[in-house]
Structures are given as C-alpha cells and as structure tokens.
Structure 1
Amino acid sequence: MREFSLPALYEVPTDGNLTDLIRRNAAQHPDVAVMGRKVAGVWTDVTARQFLAEVRAAAKGLIASGVRPGDRVGLMSRTRYEWVLLDFAIWSAGAVTVPVYETSSAEQIQWILGDSGAVAVLVESDAHAAAVDSVRDRLPELHSVWQIERDGVGELVAAGAEVDDATVDERSASAKADDPATIVYTSGTTGRPKGCVLTHRSFFAECGNAVERLKPLFRTGECSVLLFLPAAHVFGRLVEVAAVMAPIKLGCVPDIKQLTDELASFKPTLILGVPRVFEKVYNAARAKAQADGKGAIFDKAARTAIDYSRALSTPSGPSMGLRLRHKVFDLLVYRKLRAVLGGRGEYAISGGAPLGERLGHFFRGIGFTVLEGYGLTESCAATAFNPWDRQKIGTVGQPLPGSTVRIADDGEVLLHGEHLFQGYWNNESATAEALTDGWFHTGDIGTLDEDGYLTITGRKKEILVTAGGKNVAPAVIEDRIRGHALIAECMVVGDGRPFVGALVTLDEEFLGRWAAEHGKPAGATAASLREDPELLAEVQKAVDDGNAAVSKAESVRKFRVLPSQFTEEAGHITPSLKLKRNVVAKDFADEIESIYRG
C-alpha cells in the first residue's frame, strides 16, 4: 500500500455557500468582465455587477414560483450563458441543481428528475420540453417547467418582480457548506445512473485548491476560459465554479462544430477539454497539411516538437541543433497551430480519458502545454492534475492539495479529502460499497511514483482475463491505437478468449480525405471500405503501434472494422465520450464472434 498527499492551499469556509462568490466578485471586482455572452453573434462582456443582478432577478422568480430551500431543480440545456446564470440562480434560491444532459432520452429524464424528486426543471429547447412533457405524468412532484429558448429567464424575472431583496438575501444564505449544492448523475457506463451528492464544501475544496495550485492560469483581468464541455458534466461544473472563484472571464459554446471559429473570436488563455478534442486538432492539422502537399513538413515538425518536449524533461535539455529546428518549425507550423487554438493560450487541461504521451509531448513541443488530470463525478471532477510548473507527461499528476491518494494492495486507487461526494442519493447500499471510513474506492487501477505522480493503468472491472490467464488492461493499447488519424474509437475484447482482439471505428472526417488520396470511390463510407485491403493495412499500422506498448500476450492479434461509429444516441458512449463496454459488446456480439471464429 502506498499513499501521497499535499497540504491544502485553500482554506475551505466553515460556513457559507457558492453564492458568496458572486457577491464577493460584485463587491471587489464590480466592473471586471466575469462572463462572455454571445449577442447577435458577437461576444459581449458581462461584468461581475451585472451577473449578480441577473442571477438575483432569476432567483426571485424561482422563489415566487414556489421553489423552497433544499428543493431539487432540474437544468437541461446545452452549454450556454444561461446555464451558468440559472445554476447560480438555483443556488441563490436555496435550492439544489440537478443537471440533465441535453441529449438524454425521455426515460433518462424521467429517472433523473423522478429519483431526485425535482419540483421544477429549466429546459432549453422545444425538443427538451416535449421530452419532459412525455413523462410528466410519472413525475408527481414536478410542478414547474421553463424553457430558455421561449424566454424562460424573462418569465422568471417577471414572476419575481414582487419579491424583495431581503427575501433573496435570506434564501442565498440558507444553504450551509455541508449542504448539497448539486446532484450529478453518473454517466451510467455500468448500469442505471446514480446521483452523486456534491456539497458546497466539495466545490470550495476542489476549485479553491485547483485555482491556487494553477494560479498563473487564473489571473483576474488577464485570463479567460472557453467552456465547450457539457455543463451538465462535473468537469464542466469545475470550469464554471473555478472561473467564478478566481474570477476570470468565462465563455460558453453550445455547439462544438463551430469550436475553431469560437476559439478564434473569444481568444481564451485557457482551454479545458477531453483527449478527443486535442486528437481532432492534431489530426485535422495533419490532414490539411497533407492536402496542401505539406505532409512531410508537418510530420517533421511533429517529430521535432515531440523530441523537443522530451528533451525538456532531461537534465541537459534540448541540444543546440534541436533548438534551431524547433525555432524554424515554430515559424512554419507551430504558431499556426496555436492560432487555431485561439492564439493567446499557453495551457490546456485535459481529463475524462487518457491523453497519451505522444499528444502530450506534441502539444508541449508546439508551445501549448496540455496538463493532464484525473477525476470522477464522486471526486467533484479533478482529484489529481499536473502542476503547471512540474509537469510529468504520461501521468495524471499529483493529488489535489488538501487530499490524499492511496494505492491499495490490489492496485485500486483510493481517495480521501473534503472534495469527495457525500454519497449516492437514495442509494445507501451503493454508498456503503463505494465509501469505507472516508475513503472512496474509485474502481481504477493505478500507481504512484516517488514524487506522488499518479498513473492510471485501467479499470478493475475492465481488466480482461484471456483463456490463458493473462490479465489485460485495455486502456493502454486502446489509447495508442486511437492515436492514428483514421481511428475514431477502439475497444479491446478478449475476456475468456484465446487471444486479444479489437473493434475499431473510423473517423468519418479523416476517412473522406484518406479515400480521396487512395483513389477510392467518391462518397465511400466505413461500411463500403471495411474490407478494403489498403484500408485494413492502414488500420493494421495503428494496431501495430498499439501492440508496441504492451507484451505479446496483451497485443491485439485480430481486429474488425465496424460499419458505423459508436454513438451516444445508440447508447455506446456517454456524453463525456466514455465507452459503455457492455452495450458495445452486446450490440456488436456478432462482430466479436467473427474475430474468434475458425
């Protein structure tokens, strides 16, 4: 057993709640832009004073509509300014926010709102309103529904016109540090979602210590962050609360299809994303270079960036020749890539899945450092992250200051600290199974090095045991295979089988470029090319690269290219892009059998 901890850098308030932050900002930084809001297609600043006023007005409407202290209020929307506004309005009414993914099915909506006992819900669109309406007869406690796109915020403001300031002040102060702030339902990778109860203390401990440890990334009046992750996900909430706590300007993007344009117009200094976002940036840049006849230059620049980053971790640092090559490629390639990311940023934080050393070194090598972290809904997002001044690429960093990470005898990662969840809502048995004497059992397998840097090697429940008795952790090889531009997703299989296999899906955007370059018919799809010898040879290169990271017994011997991608709509992935392995295995059982047939 091994454990590591760091002293707290932030003193968690003994009382109070998250609404204290917006009142403090309005008092200390009244004219500082704390939000960026899109108005008629143009980013417009919202000052701390303005934000507080808008939050209070919406909170009055909730109070006037019968929302009481401790009530649960659902919030179902894409990531947009109103999400943050209404989140703080719910807290200012003394209530508890229950996020619902905007992609949720009617059945999921019914479960989350019903299980939490929500008395009201704020939705974004007609489709969301219709989905709620379709299950409303099964939600006896739900009495109010507002829709953002039909001036729901305006309705709240009008409804609360007669509520006085003293009432909203009293409600804002009603929740204490150990009271629930939100109930965030897990993605449900292993079954029906469980509601994680996160308190105001959880967020204070999480965001306060993260902001202090990453202080150069959170300079008030200088820094900004663009949130394009789902605000309903705990990682998105970390971004929201940390930005308000600092405070730095926060912008929200509801549609990541326009992400490149939004980065260029908002120009954030900090980006938070999942590995797939950074893979897309790399693959799109490489594909564009190849289309322009500059593929060889890009590949040389990429190798130089990776070599340069690796050399930064050595005592002697980069050689003179490497520094010169790096400077040349900075002029030719790297500055253009930084411009794609907004042009002002130097740092990003990545979580949700393994980033991989290759991408980590590439981005640091181009002058845009991606700090990898690790966390779960139960740990209020990040429970470990790489410090800005002592990054170890390939690890998920050191524990959140004020918390402890322990590696149990069986390799499981255990967590302890004020940032942890209180328990699962209405589920005492699951709580007792996950929490033992204040230690949360993550279900992840990992190691700690001598400096307290954590490396995650897999999931306890995802460890495959082949027929030959070999334990295989899928994450390592899957990450390497996904690193190829042509690969969208990869799922390793082989539990109880004679060898390890893999299901592979293709990146639709890159597939079109690859098909054109290799003389395939216009409009060729994964379904039409999945047996194409040239395509299979290209996928084999990705598999070979993955196999290089593991032992022979753990390597993928056969794979199947699937005719379609894993989608959230089909239930194959969660909104945070995690694979639901049991669903994929069930839906593609025939494909898995074909790997082992004969």
Structure 2
Amino acid sequence: MASIPSLLRDRIAATPDAEAYRTPSDDGWASLSWREVGEQVRGLALGLAELGAGPGRRVSILCSTRLEWILADLAVLATGAATTTIYPSNTAAESAFVITDSGSTIVIAENDDQVAKLLSVRKELPDVTHVVVVDGSPSDDGWVITFDSLSGQGDGDYDAMVDAIAQDDLATLIYTSGTTGRPKGVELTHDNWLYTASAVRELGMISGDDLHFLWLPLSHSFGKLLEVVMIGIGVPTAIDGRLDKIADNLGVLRPTFMAAAPRIFEKIHNTVAATQEREGGVKLKIFNWARATGIRVSRARQAGKAVPLTTRIEYALADRLVFTKLRTRFGGRIRFFISGAAPLSKDIAEFFDGAGLTILEGYGLTESSAGSFLNRPESVRFGTVGPPFPGTEVRIDDDGEILIGGRGVMRGYHGLPEETAQTLEDGWLRTGDIGELDSAGRLTITDRKKELIKTSGGKYIAPTYLEGRLKAACPYVSHVFVHGDRRNYVTALVTLDMEVTGPWAAAESLPADPEELRVHPRMLAEVRKAVERVNADQASYATIKKFAILAEDFTVETGELTPSLKIKRKAVEERHGGTLDSFYA
C-alpha cells in the first residue's frame, strides 16, 4: 500500500463491520464500525477537495483529542494534502506562526473559542481561505463554515484521489515543541507512518481483540503514531482527550492497554502513596510492605531469577490486599501501559510492575515518527527503552550521541535546509540524546546532549535522572528542575501537586495556601527527606545541595512546560533566575 488512506481502505475491506472507534455520547459511549468511518472520511474528503485541499497543499488542525480530529486528519490525507497539527493550548500568535510557516490554506478548528483565536490574527493569515469549525457557528462572510456542512459539498472521485497518493508524499507537518528555541516543522511522509504501523504489527503485541484507550494529544507525534498503528492492525480505540475524565473512563471502558506520558503514571503513583500516608497506621504499613514485596518480585523477573516460595506466598497476599484494588481502578483488564514522550523513572516503573500493571517504556522523536524503540512484554528491562523496532537501525557516536536510521526517519525540516543537514547525516538522524546499548540491544537514555549539566568542577550530571528520582521519592512533588550548569554544586526547584498535597495538608492542619505551605517546616522536611534519599545513591558532586519549593506549579499556560509536558529549561531559568542565583550567593 502507498498511503495512510489506502491503509484505511484496506482495513475497511478486511473488517468492515468491526468496531473502529468508541466516543462519548449522551447515553455513555457510541461506536462506529470501520465501514462507517470510511463513509464519513469519504464525505469529508470530497468536501475539503471542493474547498481546495489537494496534492501539495496543507490543512491545519487546531483541536483537542476527539473522534473528529481523526476523521479530519484521514479526510485531509485522502485529498492528497498534508495535515499540520496545532495544539489547542497554543496562543493565537503561536497558531498563526504554524499556519503561515506551513503554508496552510484551510484550518479545522474545534470550537468558537479556537475560531476567536484565528479571528484575532486574521490579518496574519492571508492565505487561509476557510476555517472549518467542528462545534460552532458559520460566519456571515463564509470564511468560517461548519464541519457537518463539508460532507455534502463535493462529488469528486474519492478512490482516484487516494490512488494518486505516493509513499514519499508529505503526510504530516508536526512542529517540535521548542524546548530550546523556535519550533521547526518536521516533514513526515506516508511511508514514515506506514513503516511504524508495520513494525508494531510485526511485534505481535496487540490485536483486534484489544481495546485501546486514547487520550494523548493527537497534535503530538505519539498520538499520531497510535492513530495509524490502530488502523493498520484493526484495534478498536475509545477516544476522549479530557484529562479529568481519564480515571473514570478507565473504570468504565476497561481497556486492555493505554499509552501515556510519564507524568500520568507519576501522578497516579503519588496519589496512591499520599492517600496511604494520610491514612497511616496499619494501612500504611501494609501498603509499604506490599510495595516492597512487589518490587522484589519485579526485580527478580527482570533478572530472570526464580522467585523464592516464601516471596511468592507474600506476593499472593500483597496482591489480594493491595494490588487487586489498584488494578480494579484501571478496569481490571490492562495487559500493559506504554510510556513515551519523556523519561520514566525506574522507581515508578518497578512499583507499577510489582502491582501487575507493567509499563513498557519506549523512545522516539518526532523526527523518527515517534516510535523507534520499545520494551517487549516478555523481556522488559526498566531503566531502558528496549530494543529498536524491526527495521530501525541504531548506533552510538563517539561522544555517546544516539543515531537512528531506517524508514521512520523524517524527510527533513520544512523550509530549513541548514538545520536539516545538521540533523540528518548520511541518512542517520542525530537525536541529540546520549545513550548506550546493552548486550541484548536494549537502549538506555542517559540524557539530552544539550541538557547535560557540567559543574564548574568539570563533572557532567544528567538532570532528568535526578528529577525523576526525586518525583518518585515524594508523593507531594509535581515537577522538579535540577540546576547547576557551570555552578559549583547542584540545586533544585520543586513544585507541589496541590491535588495530592492539599488533602494531606488539611489532615495535618497545615496551611492551605501554597505560598504559606511551601515554606512551612513540615513541608520542607518532607521534601528534604526525599532529597536525602535520592542523594544517598549519588556521587558527591551529583547530590542536590539546596532546594526551594515554589508556590506555583510549572504549566503549559505559563510557558514552563511544552504541550507534551516536558520542562522548558530556558524558560524556567529565566522566570526563576532570582531564586536560582540565591542558591549560590
């Protein structure tokens, strides 16, 4: 097959009446078959073609994760055009940059609020002929039309449009989050995505008998990867991008697997741990014993060692008293989770595995179509991102940088030939990450090459490793920023997860106001205890000498996090420069 639309067409032919998508409805959840998806995509594609979408054109999607995002994406691709993704959290100016830089002529917007963004910068969008709103009203001048009205607008030859698409045609322009500078448009072809779909199918980990729960941003390459993989294999997907509904949806849907960013697993772990801390007494002792027992079993499994009979008996009791209840929260059918987009703490991974909820950490860049490495269920090794996908090549450069080769590697950066040449070298993608391979071919990520801290004493430190350890050591911590580049010791900024910390503070009669709570001796003592626990395993030059708790969390809205929840290091340093400097005064 030559394209994503032809992949969809093959899926419809193979399993026309099987469930494709499940989406929230007034009565709970409504299902669509692959045949019904195909009919909707056909109508939308013909309507978009009538508006001017077609080969060589780009259409931007400014929308949260929902069924209409996928339908719109598939329809855009069927015209021969490419999809440009925009996070719904992007500002009007950021949205305008992506639209103009990509050369988009049509924008599909989720609702009237997103349309208002576009209207505020309309003068900067002279090439945009139409805005298609999913949930909203058309404009009097015809610039804004409704999503539902698209289906009746075109009467062209759908199959001829699909047949004309070539493997090397541009399918997606995804703009990198820009942790270190201006976002760059990553050009990914149909063949890039088809490769990932075939590679995951070859792994044999999932099938049409599974139920996939998708809430990740489809604007991110990880979400887009999942979209294409599920079409290729024929896995039904329940879609709901509302973050506050994740817990409820897991219990109702009872999926068999779900992908997430590490922050979600950290938050679940911290909520569970903080609840037990708050209850204290016998329940806390049982929880801590169960956790320790589960981790012993997890480590034995990873090492390929037999679990002693006494430990098996203890684990069976721990499972009945603690872990079964935790699995029930996720619907009771989870076979595994998949973690990507940022590093996952080994401590968090071992806790979940001990509870019978294995997290398979993977690794990839937008520039490598999101998926390049993944732990396998039968040979998971926490702390690594597993071996490469079938067909993906890897080598480690002299300075430790990870280089990736294969069909998943991008075509280049849109309109940036010099940056493309710097990143693509003789067919190899320079990832900017430092890592090493073990004897089984599993990759361990040490840190971002550009984010390694070099102290004034000349010692290199990996900040994300320390950040992950500290988040796992204290359930009240939301984010950690480790600092110390060209300084004589390492320090940290810590933010609190008030959803977890608030109930604990109330139970302990501590201040409810974050500004007061952050300097309270009890709160400082909790964080200091976690810092000391992390420091105990580190070389002296890598220990955190000082820290400060901030009153406000890092967020996407304040500019300290990317939409995929990674810390923008420069933004944090600029905003909290005074506090950081005070550590070294």
| CA distances 1:231-276 after superposition (whole Å, capped 9, x unpaired) | 1000011111111111111111121111111111111111100111
Structure 2 Cα separation of the partners of residues 529 and 316 of structure 1:
45
Match of 2:466, SS state, is helix
Does residue 394 (structure 1) correspond to residue 387 (structure 2)? The answer is: no
Show structure 1 runs of 5+ residues with no match: 1-12
* Aligned residues: CA RMSD: 1.6
Does residue 512 (structure 1) correspond to residue 535 (structure 2)? The answer is: no
Query: 1:534 maps to which residue?
Result: 522
- C-alpha spacing 1:549/1:132, structure 2 compared with 1 (3 Å): farther
Does residue 300 (structure 1) correspond to residue 289 (structure 2)? The answer is: yes
Structure 1 residue corresponding to 2:400, chosen from 374, 393, 411:
411
Structure 2 Cα separation of the partners of residues 369 and 464 of structure 1:
31
- C-alpha spacing 1:315/1:158, structure 2 compared with 1 (3 Å): closer
- C-alpha spacing 1:313/1:112, structure 2 compared with 1 (3 Å): same
Query: 1:250 maps to which residue?
Result: 237
Query: 1:139 maps to which residue?
Result: 125
Query: 1:128 maps to which residue?
Result: 114
Match of 1:461, SS state, is coil
Match of 1:103, SS state, is coil
Does residue 476 (structure 1) correspond to residue 465 (structure 2)? The answer is: yes
Structure 1 Cα separation of the partners of residues 538 and 127 of structure 2:
53
Query: 2:141 maps to which residue?
Result: none
Does residue 268 (structure 1) correspond to residue 255 (structure 2)? The answer is: yes
Structure 2 Cα separation of the partners of residues 569 and 41 of structure 1:
33
Does residue 563 (structure 1) correspond to residue 551 (structure 2)? The answer is: yes
Structure 2 Cα separation of the partners of residues 492 and 162 of structure 1:
55
8 Å Cα contact 1:61-1:156 kept in structure 2:
no
1:221-260 aligned within 5 A: 222-260=209-247
Structure 1 Cα separation of the partners of residues 289 and 137 of structure 2:
52
- C-alpha spacing 1:21/1:335, structure 2 compared with 1 (3 Å): same
The amino acid that maps onto 1:342 is G
The amino acid that maps onto 1:346 is R
| CA distances 1:119-166 after superposition (whole Å, capped 9, x unpaired) | 0000112211011111121111111101111278994554443633x6
Structure 2 residue corresponding to 1:98, chosen from 75, 84, 88:
84
8 Å Cα contact 1:515-1:524 kept in structure 2:
no
The amino acid that maps onto 1:305 is G
Structure 1 Cα separation of the partners of residues 148 and 581 of structure 2:
58
Query: 1:341 maps to which residue?
Result: 330
Shift in Å at residue 291 of structure 1?
4.1
Does residue 280 (structure 1) correspond to residue 283 (structure 2)? The answer is: no
Query: 2:202 maps to which residue?
Result: 212
Query: 2:154 maps to which residue?
Result: 163
1:16-165 aligned within 5 A: 16-150=2-136, 155-156=146-147, 158-161=149-152, 163-164=154-155
Structure 1 residue corresponding to 2:163, chosen from 173, 188, 200:
173
Structure 1 Cα separation of the partners of residues 558 and 432 of structure 2:
25
Structure 2 Cα separation of the partners of residues 140 and 39 of structure 1:
37
- C-alpha spacing 1:450/1:116, structure 2 compared with 1 (3 Å): same
Does residue 326 (structure 1) correspond to residue 334 (structure 2)? The answer is: no
The amino acid that maps onto 1:356 is S
| CA distances 1:21-59 after superposition (whole Å, capped 9, x unpaired) | 221121110110011121215111110111100111111
The amino acid that maps onto 2:581 is E
The amino acid that maps onto 1:282 is H
8 Å Cα contact 2:43-2:154 kept in structure 1:
no
| CA distances 1:64-115 after superposition (whole Å, capped 9, x unpaired) | 2222222100001111111111110111121100010000011110110000
- C-alpha spacing 1:24/1:315, structure 2 compared with 1 (3 Å): closer
Shift in Å at residue 292 of structure 1?
4.4
Structure 2 Cα separation of the partners of residues 479 and 584 of structure 1:
17
By relative contact order (CA 8 Å, sep 6+), the higher-ranking structure is 1
Structure 1 residue corresponding to 2:438, chosen from 435, 443, 449:
449
8 Å Cα contact 1:184-1:195 kept in structure 2:
yes
8 Å Cα contact 2:221-2:369 kept in structure 1:
yes
Shift in Å at residue 528 of structure 1?
1.0
Query: 2:481 maps to which residue?
Result: 491
Structure 1 Cα separation of the partners of residues 535 and 396 of structure 2:
27
Alignment TM-score, normalising by the size of structure 2? 0.96
Query: 1:546 maps to which residue?
Result: 534
Which has the larger displacement, 580-589 or 357-366? Answer: 357-366
| CA distances 1:478-532 after superposition (whole Å, capped 9, x unpaired) | 11011121111111111111111111111111211231233213x232x112221
Shift in Å at residue 173 of structure 1?
2.2
Which has the larger displacement, 280-289 or 238-247? Answer: 280-289
8 Å Cα contact 2:43-2:150 kept in structure 1:
no
Match of 1:45, SS state, is strand
The amino acid that maps onto 1:494 is G
The amino acid that maps onto 2:234 is P
Shift in Å at residue 395 of structure 1?
0.4
Query: 2:414 maps to which residue?
Result: 425
Shift in Å at residue 567 of structure 1?
1.0
Match of 1:43, SS state, is strand
Structure 1 Cα separation of the partners of residues 475 and 563 of structure 2:
22
Structure 2 Cα separation of the partners of residues 110 and 67 of structure 1:
19
Which has the larger displacement, 563-572 or 334-343? Answer: 334-343
Which has the larger displacement, 226-235 or 546-555? Answer: 546-555
Match of 2:578, SS state, is helix
The amino acid that maps onto 2:110 is E
Structure 1 Cα separation of the partners of residues 476 and 403 of structure 2:
36
| CA distances 1:450-469 after superposition (whole Å, capped 9, x unpaired) | 11110001111111111111
Structure 2 Cα separation of the partners of residues 425 and 117 of structure 1:
10
Structure 1 Cα separation of the partners of residues 526 and 151 of structure 2:
61
8 Å Cα contact 2:47-2:153 kept in structure 1:
no
